[in-house]
Structure 1
Amino acid sequence: MMVQGVTAGILVVGIGGNNGVTLLAGQIANRDKLSWETGPGRVSANWFGCLTQIPPRGVHGGVGFQGRYEGLASADKAAIGGWDIRSTKLGQALYDCRVLEPDLVRQVREEMDGMDIMPGVWDPSFIGESQHETALNVVSGEDNSSTRCRLERIRRDIRMWKEKNNVDGHITVIWSASVERPSEAEYKSADELLEAIYDDSNTDDISPSVLYAAASALEGCSFVNGGSQNTLSAAMTSLFEQSYRQPDAPSTSALSKFAPYSSCPAYCLGTDFKAGQTKFKTAAVEYLRALGLSPRVIASSNHLGNNDMLNLTQKKTLDAKMRVKSDIFGPWQEDDLDHKVSVMYTPYIGDEKRDYVEYTSFGFLSSPHTMVTYTRCMDSILCVPLMVDAAIWCDYFVNHKVSPTDAARATAYLFKVPEGGAKGVDPGFFYQMKELDNVMQKASGKEDDVIAMGLSKGIISEEQANALRALSTM
């Protein structure tokens, strides 16, 4: 989808899924300032949930970054496109998924049906059998003859899409397709990874998500792993480093085999969007820990009936999801915490995710303290704002020369298991918001303003100010 005055590009792997079509419909609704009928009454388009698109609220500003910092791109003006292994027209897919109100679907369906869907690179061994029958829009022929050919096809798709849509800003590729089983391939370096892709033997267990991520790096695009699979690795993170993708890379480097390639800055972020139950879990346990209680049991169940959950009915893909769901409290080292997670596929309720969580902690004198939460919301309504924010942050951070580590730490709040440069970041939502604020202050140059204000008010000494300035350059 092309919009005049484009400042950023968003390419979605799985554009025809519930998240992809909800994102497209949301952009059209906001761009055209649509309103529509719902049961309680008439409502109008907004970007609620997207921290980059809403203004600050509250006494101290609160969440919301639009207007606080210059240079945050407008999602209304972004170019959005992507790939899908299914050929269903996007307006029809929006109608079929039953996420949005019929009156809104009616207003955006025709435009969405006219949008292009690029054929997806796929490997049936990586996703559940439930997805195979509908895989009718896949890369085939010579482009599918080897791992290297599949990678080069994705690279060509990115370049052609960028030119066709006149994208003059940073492009972020977001994995929003079905969860893959974990890849068994392990590489120690970016060179090893590229050598394996270049080798035409097809004997390596290289997943489609790894190819999309590697292609993104070679084209100077950021990659966001919104799924649970193990796409991110030390080798993949290295591939995104500008110091590796230097223009004068030695001829002995595997990188030279993929020339021409981009040396532009780009980020690799993930893993698995922290949109609903998991986000509240970390906030709830953060609350319990703030009270001085000791969490002992977290027993949770969630069920929904969308295609993503259908894919998880296969053990090979469920294992990837359970890995990230069960590891969200790792950095807190709550060794005595018994964390149980159950997921169920219930077709009737479609995309409406419902979850129940019981938290039991030890209080004073080890007396038990138990609380329960219950949540209902369309899964895509929770996830799409994270996709928007991920792309807008990547665009902003590239334009402001933010380091890969700072970008990863600033966006840790988006993911169940922050990996790459964000590995080990505190799981607490409010701590992660502080990380984001700190990076934004540093990137925007407002950090020095704060130090100067502290000096002028006598809160800090000149010596302390110099020490703070030194820290900000580390």
Structure 2
Amino acid sequence: MKNEMQVSAGILIVGLGGNNGVTLLAGQLANKHGLEWETLTGRVSANWFGCLTQIPSRGVHGGVGYQGRIKGLASASSAAIGGWDIRPTPLGQALYECRVLEPDLVRQVREEMDCTEIMKGFGIRPSSESPSTTLQPMYDIRTWKEKNSVDGHITVIWSASVERPSEAVYSTPDELLDAIHDDSNGDDISPSMLYAAAAALEGCSFVNGGSQNTLSPAMNALFDEAYRRDASGVSPKCALSKFAPYSTNKAYCLGTDYKAGQTKFKTAAVEYLRALGLTPRVIASSNHLGNNDMLNLTTKKTLNAKMRVKSDIFGPWQEENLDHKVSVMYCPYIGDEKRDFVEYTSLGFLGSPHTMVTYTRCMDSILCVPLMVDAAIWCDYFVNNNVSAGDAAKATAYLFKVPEGDAKGVDPGFF
């Protein structure tokens, strides 16, 4: 019999002290304690709105919401949440400083959040650092799981700022592991790749919430439990042996970049236009916000990574001659509030133009956190039900701007 204190799933966030991490943790505490707080429009009670795995179904035919419809979906309110950050700022203080949630709610969760442990993260690895230090996340995951009595599946989520793309190419998981183990920073191994590899070796799923190219055929192959199982007991010189002990448990590698705000609605809008039989010709969009992630996009290499995933969202539809333009702007005053403007022009009956415009504004973290929750809960459910990596990737493709790995080429429409 399971210990009553044990939780059903674990969520580890790389960048726990960032806006997404502290918003997720505050939301969980609000739901766990049944909190209420005052807003400009009235009193609000805690909820999981936006999390398809956490809200009950509604509507004549079941509609949205899977809680209660699918037996075995974990409750996010009872999940263990932890993670890493390169900053030591207490999480309650970080929540206060990010100005995402209402002050009355922040006041109620701040003290408890300040007591939450932050594991020491890392950015670019110094060339003098040893491989054992580099894969400290393996040890962190193992000890965190034991300390929090996590008896379900753990998902590691990259929620730190967008990295510059890695220029290294590895054709096999052995090449990738050798490069990680022997790296002197010449192989261009990014921090997200190290966290992803550590997750795989600990039997945890990894979700790339950023737009950098963490996922690759070699990385995906590392998550194949058959690879880790079949390599056991082979030559002591094999790449895997350098990281023993490691797990052979099933785990998934998902991404890339959450389809949270403008891109999600843009996909749904174009899906609507296509459903009408119209032919999209121009999609011109701009979005601006002032959080740290947008600040990071002022660097050309990281901006290129973001532009890749934003521009490729319609790829599988093969809409010829579609002129899709995207611009992003860093506006510090706006903070975490994301604002976007999009104009859609299509050709209708007899080639006549059809144009519509959308304007959206919402806190970026409010848009992203439900996707982080759903990704982790789905991973836990799929592992418990022995769902194949391919099916899990296809089922969660709706969460990402550019579904990669086994989800590559999946219809990008939300519905």
Give the superposition deviation at 1:200.
4.4
Give the 3 Å change call, closer, same or farther, for CA 229–200 of structure 1 in structure 2.
Answer: closer
- Deviation by residue 1:198-220 (Cα, 9 ceiling, x = unmatched): 21433210000000000000000
Unaligned segments of structure 2, at least 5 residues? none
Residue in 2 aligned with 1:86? 87
Displacement, 1:160? Answer: 1.1
1:349 shift after superposition? 1.1
2:131 corresponding residue in structure 1: 148
Q: Match for residue 10 of structure 1?
A: 11
**CA deviation vs aligned residue, 1:184-208 (integer Å, no higher than 9, x gap):** 0100010110111121433210000
Contact 1:147 1:197 in 2 (8 A): no
Q: Does structure 1 conserve the Cα–Cα contact (< 8 Å) formed by 2:201 and 2:247?
A: yes
Q: Is the 8 A contact 2:165 2:212 kept in 1?
A: yes
Bigger radius of gyration, 1 or 2?
1
Is residue 199 of structure 2 the alignment partner of residue 198 of structure 1? no
**1:350 maps to 2:335:** yes
What SS class does the counterpart of residue 265 from structure 1 fall into? coil
The counterpart of 2:308, out of the listed 323, 326, 337, is 323
Name stretches of at least 5 consecutive residues in structure 1 with no aligned partner.
125-139, 431-474
Who is 2:23 aligned against? 22
Which has more helix, going by share of residues? 1
1:250 maps onto 2:251 in alignment: no
Please give the TM-score of this superposition, normalised by the length of structure 1.
0.85
Letter in 2 for 1:153: Q
- Work out whether residues 408 and 422 of structure 1, in 8 Å CA contact, stay in contact via their aligned partners in 2: yes
Q: Tell me the secondary structure at the aligned position of residue 369 of structure 1.
A: strand
Amino acid at match of 2:23: T
Question: Does residue 1:118 correspond to 2:119, yes or no?
Answer: yes
Tell whether the 8 Å contact from 1:175 to 1:226 is kept in structure 2 after alignment.
yes
Q: Which amino acid aligns with 2:249?
A: C
- Matches of 1:148 and 1:98, distance apart in 2: 38
CA contact (8 A) 2:128 2:184 kept: no
Q: How does 1:50-449 map to 2 (within 5 A)?
A: 50-123=51-124, 145-146=128-129, 148-246=131-229, 248-251=232-235, 253-430=238-415
Q: Which residue identity lines up with residue 401 of structure 1 in the other structure?
A: N
Q: How many percent identity over aligned positions?
A: 79
* TM superposition shift of 1:249: 4.9
| CA distance in 2 between partners of 1:249 and 1:420 (Å) | 28
C-alpha distance in 2, partners of 1:9/1:145? 32
Residue identity in the other structure for 2:267: T
Cα RMSD of the aligned pairs, angstroms, is 1.3
Question: Kindly tell me: are residues 249 and 188 of structure 1, through their superposed partners in 2, closer, same or farther at Cα, counting changes over 3 Å?
Answer: farther
Letter in 1 for 2:234: P
Corresponding residue for residue 44 of structure 2: 43
2:201 and 2:397 mapped to 1: Cα distance? Answer: 24
On the 8 A contact 1:305/1:348 being kept in 2, the answer is yes
**Structure 1 Cα separation of the partners of residues 182 and 6 of structure 2:** 41
- Tell me if structure 2 keeps the 8 A contact 1:331–1:426: yes
Q: Quick one: higher RCO (CA 8 Å, sep 6+), 1 or 2? A: 2
* Count of residue pairs the alignment pairs up: 410
Q: Distance in 1 between matches of 2:205 and 2:238?
A: 22
8 Å contact from structure 2 (residues 32, 77) kept in 1? yes
Equivalent pair of 2:30/2:46 in contact (CA under 8 Å): yes
CA distance in 1, matches of 2:207, 2:16: 14
Give CA deviations for 1:414-444 in whole Å, capped at 9, x if unaligned. Answer: 00000011000011111xxxxxxxxxxxxxx
Structure 1 contact 146–202 (Cα < 8 Å) conserved: no
| Aligned residues of 1:272 and 1:416 also touching (Cα < 8 A) | yes
1:105 aligned counterpart, secondary structure = helix
TM-score by length of 2: 0.97
Shift of 1:250: 2.1
Q: Which of 186-195 and 149-158 deviates more?
A: 149-158
